[in-house]
Structures are given as C-alpha cells and as structure tokens.
Amino acid sequence: MEGAGLVGKHILVTGGTGLVGRAIEKVVADGEGQLDEEWIFMFSRDADMMSTTETKALFEKHKPTHVIHLAATVGGLFRNICYNLDFWKKHTHHTHHMHSAYETGVQKVVSCLSTCIFPDKMMYPVDESMIHNGPPHSSNFGYSYAKRMIDIQNRGYFEQHGCRFTAVIPTNVFGPHDNFNIEDGHVLPGLIHKVCLAKHETGSALTVWGTGKPRRQFIYSLDLARLFLWVLREYDEVEPIILSVGEEDEVSIREAAEAILEAMDFRGELVFDTTKADGQFKTASNAKLRRYLPSFQFTPFRKAVKETCAWFNTNYANARK
C-alpha cells in the first residue's frame, strides 16, 4: 500500500497480517499515513524472520528506511506454561531484523515487547526502568527472557553504532483480526469465541478460567496502532516506552467477561473455574506516555469490546480461531 506523493520513508512492517499489523494498516489507510511514507506490510510467507538469510534478503529487497517489528510467536497463559522452551528458542531467533537493519542502514526500528516480561515480584505499577530487576513470572519465563534481549540489543546497537532502535511495551492488546483460539489465544478473544459457541448451545454457561479477580489494562488495537505511528515518527529515545491505558482504567477478568456478555447479548450463566491458574497481576504505569501525549484519547473499553465482537461475528468464517 503506497502513500501518495513523493516517497521519503519506506516503512516495513513485519508480522503485518497479525492483530497489530492489521490495525496499523487500517489506521494508515483511514488517513493517518503521511504523504512521504510508503508502507510495506509483510506476510509470514514473505520471509522466515527466524532465518538470518531470509531476513537479510527481505531487507535488501525492500530497502526500508524504517521498520516496525511485530513478527512473533504468541499465545495465552496456558500455551506459555506448556511451551516455555519453544517460546524462548523461537524468540531468540526473532532478533535477526536488528542486524539486517544495521547492515542495510535502516534509520529507525521499533520492536514490540510485552508487559509480561517484567519481573514477577515487584512493587506496582511497573515502569520502563524495571524490566531487568528480577526473574519474570514462571508461567512465561521463556518468552520473557528472550524478549528482554531486544532491549539489551537496542542499547548495544545505539552505544556501538549510533542506531536509533527502540521498543514499545503494550499492555493487553485486543481488537479485529485477533487470534480467537480458545486454547492458544489471549483471554479476551478467547472469551469472545467461547461466548459465540455458548450462544448456540441452549442452557450453556460461559466458563472462565481462574477466579476472575486479576485486573488487566486492555488496549484497543486501533489505539495502539495510532501510538505506533507516533513512536515511529516522534519518539527519539532508545529506552522503551509502555503504551497503555492508565491504572484507573484497569478492568478485572470478571468485568471483561461481563462486557463481552453484554456485547454478544448472551443470557447464560457466568461460571469461574477456580481450579485454573489466574496468572500474573501486572499493573503498568503509563506516566511516561502521558508526559509525551497528555491529551491522547483511548477508546472506551466497552465500546472497543462491542466493535471487536461485531467484527468477530461478521468475519466468523475467516477469523483466526
């Protein structure tokens, strides 16, 4: 997808067909792209980002000036618990984009981390300075340690080569084009799919794993996409930045489930399976983001849930599930 006018920036988005990549593509298409920008959204079939050779070939082919790196292997709490080694191995190979960017003279790289990389035993809220202050939660140590190394490499490439590589740390992202797989997906899309199935079973209840008490900062993918554009264009720090709603906008898993029930018009019973683990409590501070963008408006949670449920219902046949 090319912007009109004289092209000055060639922006390569890896993982461009995923949740966040699709959101960025929509935001750009809806008019928030700039005239000097050419956007290239990469499919997984275009290159294996775990391969040094294929990653280098991709960069030499497209000659990007800027990169948003979203390619990753992702999963929910229970997939992380079962496959920590696999997550570690895959994500240690998901950093080839940095060396290729350095070799081909890319001006800026924005990589994507996650709040689950923060230490388990911390005072909350966590902030950007705390990433390496202790071991991560045991449920996702493989993914967390591998992702932390992106921050280390960003610093190294800057100190040794002057590269402007940075990373963002979103909280719990959801929206259209999410992975709605009940077993492998994250909590919100998984619940949306479960409600959809339960609606077609007379008298069926919605069962939620855990107590429903943990609180999460959910961020709508389209809001995150707009923030990615700002980071790419305006944010000049190498240090990472948390992209999140405020602490006051945290939502419990129970409240999230109730919002989905309302959006999907589900009248069945809501049941919590307390034999399942709750996962990590991980409130994050968005104070740094607010210092930069004090007036940024996030989409209200229930509105974003309603739009996501509507998208899933409309695109059920082709949605990832």
> Exposed, middle or buried, 267 (CB in 10 Å: 0-12/13-18/19+)?
exposed
Residue 152 CB partners (closer than 8 Å, separation 6+)? none
Residue 298: other Cβ atoms inside 10 A = 18
- Our answer to whether residue 292 is catalytic in this structure is no
Residue 45 CB-density burial (10 A; 0-12 exposed, 13-18 middle, 19+ buried): exposed
DSSP 8-state code for residue 28: I
Catalytic residue among 83, 143, 157, 235: 143
Which residue type sits at 175?
G
Number of helices and strands in the chain (H, E): 11, 12
Whole-angstrom Cα distance, residue 267 to residue 283? 31
Q: Give the number of other Cβ atoms within 10 Å of residue 201's Cβ.
A: 9
Can you name the residues that pair with 216 across neighbouring β-strands? 251
Catalytic residues: 143
